[in-house]
Amino acid sequence: MCGIAGIVYFNGEQARKDMIQGMTNALSHRGPDADQFFIEQEVALGHRRLAIIDLSVEANQPFSDITGRYMIIFNGEMYNYAEIKSMLGDYPFKTTSDTEALVAAYAKWGPDCIRHFRGMFAFAIWDRQEKEIFILRDRMGVKPLYYYLDEDKLLFASEARAILGTNLVKRKISEQALVDYFSYQSVTSPNSIIDGIQQLEAGTWMQIKKGKLVKKVYWDITNTAVDFDFREEKKIQQHTRELILQSVKRRLVSDVPVCAFLSGGIDSSVVVGLMAEAGESRPNTFNISFDEKEYDESQYADIVAKKFNADHNRILLKPTSFLDELYNALNAMDTPSGDGINTYVVSKAVRQRGMKVALSGAGGDELFAGYSYFSQFLRLKEKNWLWKLPVGIRKMSALQAGDKKERVQQLLQADSPDIENAYPVFRQILSPKLINQLTTLSAEKSLTTLQQHLMDKKNNLHNLPLLSQVSVAEYLGYTQQTLLKDADQMSMAVALELREPFFDHDLIEFVLAIPDKFKKPVYPKSLMVESVKPMLPDEIVFRKKQGFLFPWNIWLKNELRSFCGKHIKNMSQRSFIHGEALNEYWQCFLKGNNNIRWAEIWLFVVLDYWMEKNNVG
């Protein structure tokens, strides 16, 4: 896991070392083990390394193939690199790194090499002969890639701050991105929070030669084919187990110790159980525990650790540790997010114990229908008849909806209860009406980027089972744009590599194809639990879901009141904000208006902090 950066000029300008080094300096937290460059005429490539596979200096990057034609910088891990090497026959490998396997594969197969890769990655390959750059991002979007392209140059990096650090891009906020951010607490690709800087979409590659761009989607989560007979439940469960185990095995590939986050929930417990089955030694596990019983889950983690003979480590924190680390977490944000502080605190605690790689149970809820809105969507689809009534009559049906009245009205005003209309409402933080009330942005008159993506893919989406439609919407929305983005920026801020077995694309393709009757939860995530049975004790499977549910609502009104008040005041003076309305909203929150959630206030606080820190206007 690393940080990559590059500059390619199309106007004859010569690339400079000070420029590319400034970019990698901005990424130093991602790779403390090495800092190296390739600079030749119009191109400069930079790499910050976190050494995980082949720890030798010979595996440092930028790295060339044996002919010297192709130069690569690579962020991530290719888990099946040994298999790729065996497919390349007589290639004279000089290292045991996955980087060399990747560049050798590209030299042989070109862009088609991706069909052989299993991993998480964003990489760039410069063809010194053709003067062409090839840039690719993994299927699920686990690893980030930002870029800026105009007629004179291409700038790209693992983080937007590295591009901003060149001072070649105006530090101007994107208004379209703001609508996405206020709606869903993050910015949806291909946009970024900075006008002109884009995110390369997941499952996409691009080639640029003399300023001309060719872009291709090589993997589409809404359009994958699976060859399997889905009539027998036991066979489905057996294959599900095989694929989860395969995914865990892949993510144990490392030349440094690998640990796992163990909360004691279903997802992390399955990961640890399969680590024990796949590995040759005791799994290393870490649990964040608290003296305060309302937050502590350590008793469940202890049960799992004991069952699988784990080398278990409890890290005792106070809930206020999350407040103590607040500034560090906010400073770690490459782009603003309403989430992620928990990931920062946990990652830092584990990194301080000497670990470089950790497995996470993230993704289990998305894949195995673990969230409440999976069942909400099924109930919504059962009421299809409502959408055959006139809009006015449908509105009347929302009058008894109580606190959720506005969301119900949004759904009833939609053309249908289909996933492209329902999911954005399920996941929104601020409603279009509230965005219009507090900002100058036109949220009610246009689609968000996420809504547009779902509309564009609706035909493919509708061909999937209903529960899988929710999973795919979740991958395109919160999971990819917030969860994975935060996991990357918050863990890499402390140089910890996170690996998520439930984001293995082979596993995802299969589970998305499973009919609802086999996947609909009889109890929480029953398909996964039945697939690994009898691995998990009942007290793990049937316990109440907890998680890090800290009293942010109270903290914003007390310990963080001054901090939030300062940034609300600053934000109210920005050109895209209705200042008086925002200040009034803040005061209503302080007075205890239960209809105002702390997360709504927090979006404005975080955004102002980020804009101020990065001098963005």
596: amino acid identity, one letter: I
Please give the pLDDT value at position 402. Answer: 47
CATH architecture classification, 2-217: 4-Layer Sandwich (3.60)
Q: What is the domain partition of the chain in residue ranges? A: 2-217, 233-367+473-541, 372-471, 552-614
Q: How far apart are CA 108 and CA 253, in angstroms?
A: 24
Tokens of 491: 């863990």
Q: Tokens in use for 327?
A: 């500034």
What is the distance between the alpha carbons of residues 71 and 100, in angstroms, rounded to a whole number?
A: 10
Residue carrying the six token digits 């980030």? 144
**Residue position matching structure tokens 């469940």:** 300
Residue 461 near residue 222 (C-beta atoms within 8 A): yes
- Non-local CB neighbours of 301 within 8 Å, separated by 6+ positions: 262, 263, 264, 285, 287, 289, 312, 314
Rg of the chain over Cα atoms, rounded to whole angstroms, equals: 24
Token code pair at residue 449: 């980027």
H or E element: which one contains 449? helix 449-456
* Three-state DSSP state, 188: coil
The Cα-based distances of 396 to 284, 408, 409, 413 in angstroms read 56, 11, 9, 11
Cβ pair 50, 2 in contact under 8 A: yes
Q: What is the DSSP letter of 173?
A: B
Cα dihedral sign, 321-326-327-328: positive
β-strands 497-499, 34-40: how paired?
unpaired
CATH class of 233-367+473-541: alpha beta
Strand partners, 123: 74, 136
Which residues on adjacent β-strands are paired with residue 531? none
Evaluate whether 449 touches 176 at the Cβ level (below 8 Å).
yes
Question: In sequence order, which residues have a C-beta less than 8 Å from that of residue 591 and are 6 or more positions away?
Answer: none
Give the tokens for residue 21. 């080094």
Q: 181 φ, ψ to 5°?
A: -60, -50
Does residue 2 carry a catalytic annotation?
yes
Question: CB-hemisphere CA count at 13 Å for 357?
Answer: 20
Mean pLDDT of all residues belonging to the chain = 94
Q: Which of 2, 113, 259, 564 is catalytic?
A: 2
User: Global pTM?
Assistant: 0.95
Q: Strand pairing partners for 499?
A: 359
Cα–Cα distance measured from residue 174 to residue 452, given in angstroms and rounded to the nearest whole number:
17
Please list the residues that pair with 317 across neighbouring strands.
Answer: 290
Looking at residue 109, what DSSP letter applies? Answer: H
Cis peptide bond upstream of 62, omega within 30:
yes
Distance CA 125, CA 107 (A): 10
Residue 121 has a CB neighbour count (10 Å cut-off) of: 24
DSSP class per residue in 514-583? S-HHHHS-SSTTHHHHHHHTTSS-HHHHSSPP------HHHHHHTTTHHHHHHHHHHHTTSTTB-HHHHH
Low-confidence stretches of the chain (pLDDT beneath 50):
399-403
